[in-house]
């Protein structure tokens, strides 16, 4: 009987703390996505410093990891792995160059897999 009481108390504690833990986890993923956007943005600026332009939309972010055939001044890789091109939810980052209001648009699709308005424009 005592064991059932202990298990019931543990179940109650888990039910109370689980939503709070999920909020912390979601907040952590959002922070990680913002950090990755800043890191990719910095890598894009390094690419531009070496090559003289940002990767085209067709070249995509993969130009930061693998040298495009037509570039002589490429001094990469500018990212360590191709995994850097996926957000914390497993979706690819959105990249477009030229961007709508700047040199490039870089954003995450967010937890729902839909592009949000938190775009890094340079």
Query: In the chain, what are the domain boundaries?
Result: 2-121
Classify 2-121 by CATH class. alpha beta
Q: Return phi, psi of residue 119, to 5°.
A: -105, 140
pTM (2 decimals)?
A: 0.69
- The mean pLDDT of the chain is 81
Instruction: Report the pLDDT value the prediction gives residue 119, as an integer from 0 to 100.
Output: 43
The count of C-alpha atoms lying within 13 angstroms of the C-alpha of 26, restricted to the half-sphere facing its C-beta, is 9
DSSP character at residue 54: P
List, for residues 22-52, the tens digit of each pLDDT value: 766 666 778 888 888 889 999 999 999 998 8
């Amino acid at each position: 009987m005592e064991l059932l009481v202990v298990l019931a108390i543990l179940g109650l504690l888990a039910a109370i703390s689980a939503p709070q833990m999920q909020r912390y986890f979601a907040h952590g993923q959002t922070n990680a996505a913002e950090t990755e956007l800043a890191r990719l943005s910095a890598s894009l600026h390094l690419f531009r410093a070496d090559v003289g332009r940002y990767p085209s939309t067709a070249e995509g972010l993969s130009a930061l990891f693998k040298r495009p055939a037509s570039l002589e001044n490429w001094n990469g890789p500018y990212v360590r792995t191709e995994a850097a091109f996926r957000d914390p939810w497993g979706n690819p980052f959105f990249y477009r160059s030229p961007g709508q209001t700047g040199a490039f648009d870089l954003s995450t699709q967010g937890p729902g897999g839909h592009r949000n308005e938190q775009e890094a424009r340079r």
